[in-house]
Structures are given as C-alpha cells and as structure tokens.
Amino acid sequence: MIVSERSNFPTDLYIAQGLIEQLDRGYALRLVDDPSELPAAIDENTALAMITHVNYRTGYMHDMAALTQTIHRAGTLAVWDLAHSVGAVPVDLNGVGADYAVGCTYKYLNGGPGSPAFVWVPKRHQNAFSQPLSGWWGHKKPFEMNPVYRPDDGIGRFLCGTQPIVSMSLVECGLDVFLQTDMLSLRRKSLAVGDLFIKLVEERCGAFPLSLATSREHAQRGSQVSFEHPNGYEVMQALIARGVIDDYREPRILRFGFTPLYTRFVDAWDAVETLRDVLATESWRAPPVRRARIGDLRTTIMSETKGCPFGHGAQSGEKGWHDAKLDFSDSMSTATISVSIRFSTRSVRSRRITITTRCCSSCSIR
C-alpha cells in the first residue's frame, strides 16, 4: 500500500498510479481525506507514505517530525514533497530522519517556469537505490562511455541524463539571494504578512462570503493563505486583471502566496483593498480584460482608425507599424492604453486610446 492524501497534488498521485500500473506487483494507493486520518492509515502493509508537507490548496502544514516518527514506527518509509516548503518554511530533513524528499525550484526558490526538480536522499539510503532512468549522468564513470550501466556511488546515481544547465544557473541566482538571509527570518516575515492579510480580509471584506481555508495556527501553515468564495474563479480573474496575481484552485479556493523574500506588507494591504473593491462593486461579474496581444491590437486599431491612430498612416505613405508599446490601465471591460508607435520611416509617437475589449484569446476593439 502507498499511503497519501486525496488532496495531494495531482502529479504525485498520478506518478504513483503510473508506477503501480507499470510494476504490476499488487501495490495500491490508500488515500485519506483528512490529515488526522494519516496515522491510522499507516500500518505494516504500508510500502511508503508519500506526504506533501504543505498542501498546495489550503496551505495546511504537517508536523514533519511527528509524522515521520509515526511512519517509522510502522516500519515504513517517509517520502516528503517539499514543493510548497522549500524556500518558504524551515525544513530539517536530517533532524526528523526523513527518508526521501522531492521538490521543485520554480516556486519559492525563484527558478522560474521550467527550472529543475530536486531530490534529497540521506546517505543511509543512497546506495540502495536502483535508478530506473539510468542515463549517462548517473553512471559511475560517465566519460568512459561504457556500454554497460554502472551506477555512481552516493547521490550521483539519482541523476539521469544531461541536466538543464541554463535553468540551473537561474536557480543559482535565486539561491544567492537566500544566502543574504536565513530561513528563520524569512519564516517570521512570512507569518507576519500572512497574519496581517487574514486580519485585513476579515476586517475589510467581512460582509462577503469568504471563509478562511488555511489554519490560523503558525505550526500548521505554510507561506500561503487561502480563502473560499462561491465564485472564486471569477473573483480571482478580476483580481488578476487588476494586477493582484494569485491563483484559483478548484473548488472555490482563492490562493494568495506570500514569497517572504520580496512580498511586502504593503502588497498584502493593496491586495486586500483590491479584493474589497472587486467584491463591493461585484466587478467579478463582468468579463475581465485580457491583455490582448500586440498583433491583435495592431490590426484592430489600424482598421478602426483607417490605418493609423493619428489619422494619416497608409494615406501619408507610412510603411505601417514597426513596433508598439502598450501600457494598460484597465477596468473590467475597458482598457486605456498608451500606444507608442514607431513607424518604419518615422520616430515614436504616443497617444492614449480607450478601447472596449472582449474576453477571449483574440480580444479586439469592438
């Protein structure tokens, strides 16, 4: 049995399902619905417990030390997913005696989309691992180019093929910034911003149907705060259109992540003010402005203005738009854009145009 939570991130559950099917050795997933059910679900039939430390939806944080002890008492292994922990909360894998950990570098480590995943394995388990994805970087002597695979000793055998070096160097930039501080200071700030955010939402948005989905207890909270709202998706789209870029997660969850390195207290304040406005004006009911692609706007503005927003364009022999820089200040259905246009034969000119947009990938002037 592989024990996990039904609310775990889909990739974790899908990978386990894929392996169970491929190995075809009678493994099965046992999923619990509440963190409190985990200890009872882990027993002598458990092959491993696969637990995400901080839940991606609610921000609930497990007690890693206590749960690892429970898992070990049952004679099995603890695999921790640290996707929402690394860079967000202090983690002491050696201290708690964890067996394996995985995570991504594109969230709180600031590596950006596509940056590599990581695996952590204590020395006691490293050489017992048989790498199914046995690429040349996991080989003991990769440059021998030997036709026979021989795993490296230690953590090196967890590598597969050539690593994404460019992405890794971007992660290094993110890590350099972490070296200027420490996780305890970051944790203090993250909790303080989260506390402020909860307090402000409850004070200023109390008239609206928002309910806190994240624990108020510091020991049970990662670096995010989630609220449920019956129209969570629409509300989040309206927030994003107003520059408050957070996430919606099914069902009904508005997820606000506080990256402690650079999310400021004033950002929490501004986000709550925008949320209050979106809820009070019910602007979430209107389709939000999508940031139209330059190409769409170029075509549509030109056809609206018969070739050129300045009224000459094609008639005066201009070769057309060479470049356009768009600066949006948007409400829900209109966008005022500063258009700086560089013609192929003339210098830059600017004009402000108010347009009404449609909510689709080919948003255009109506």
Ligand X SMILES: Cc1ncc(COP(=O)(O)O)c(C=O)c1O
The residues that touch ligand X, with contacts defined as CB under 6 A, are 9, 11-12, 52, 56, 81, 83-84, 104, 117
Half-sphere exposure of 247 (CA within 13 A, CB side): 15
Helix (H) or strand (E) holding 5: strand 2-5
Separation between Cα atoms, residue 120 and residue 118, nearest integer Å: 7
The active-site residue, picked from 56, 57, 60, 107, is: 107
Strands 2-5 and 48-52: parallel
Minimum Å gap between C-beta 14 and ligand X is 8
CA distances 154 to 50, 127, 160, 356, 362, Å, are 22, 6, 14, 60, 52
Residue 331: which residues within 8 A CB-CB, separation 6 or more? 283, 289
Kindly state the tokens that stand for 298. Answer: 């170029």
Minimum Å gap between C-beta 84 and ligand X is 6
CB 61 within 8 A of CB 51: no
- Which of residues 59 and 194 has its CB atom nearest to ligand X in the complex? 59
Minimum Å gap between C-beta 193 and ligand X is 20
Minimum Å gap between C-beta 93 and ligand X is 16
The active-site residue, picked from 189, 242, 255, 290, is: 255
27 among known catalytic residues: no
List b or e across 175-212, with b for residues whose CB sees 16 or more CB atoms inside 10 angstroms: eeeeeeeebeebbebbbebbebbbebbeebbeebebee
Residue where the block lists tokens 């992540």: 257
The active-site residue, picked from 9, 129, 310, 328, is: 9
81 among known catalytic residues: yes
The active-site residue, picked from 81, 99, 152, 330, is: 81
255 among known catalytic residues: yes
Residue where the block lists tokens 């070769």: 319
CB 236 within 8 A of CB 226: no
- Which of residues 52 and 226 has its CB atom nearest to ligand X in the complex? 52
- Which of residues 65 and 117 has its CB atom nearest to ligand X in the complex? 117
CA distances 42 to 308, 333, 343, Å, are 69, 52, 68
Minimum Å gap between C-beta 12 and ligand X is 6
328 among known catalytic residues: no
Minimum Å gap between C-beta 55 and ligand X is 8
The active-site residue, picked from 60, 106, 197, 248, is: 106
Q: Would you name the residues annotated as active-site residues?
A: 9, 81, 106-107, 255
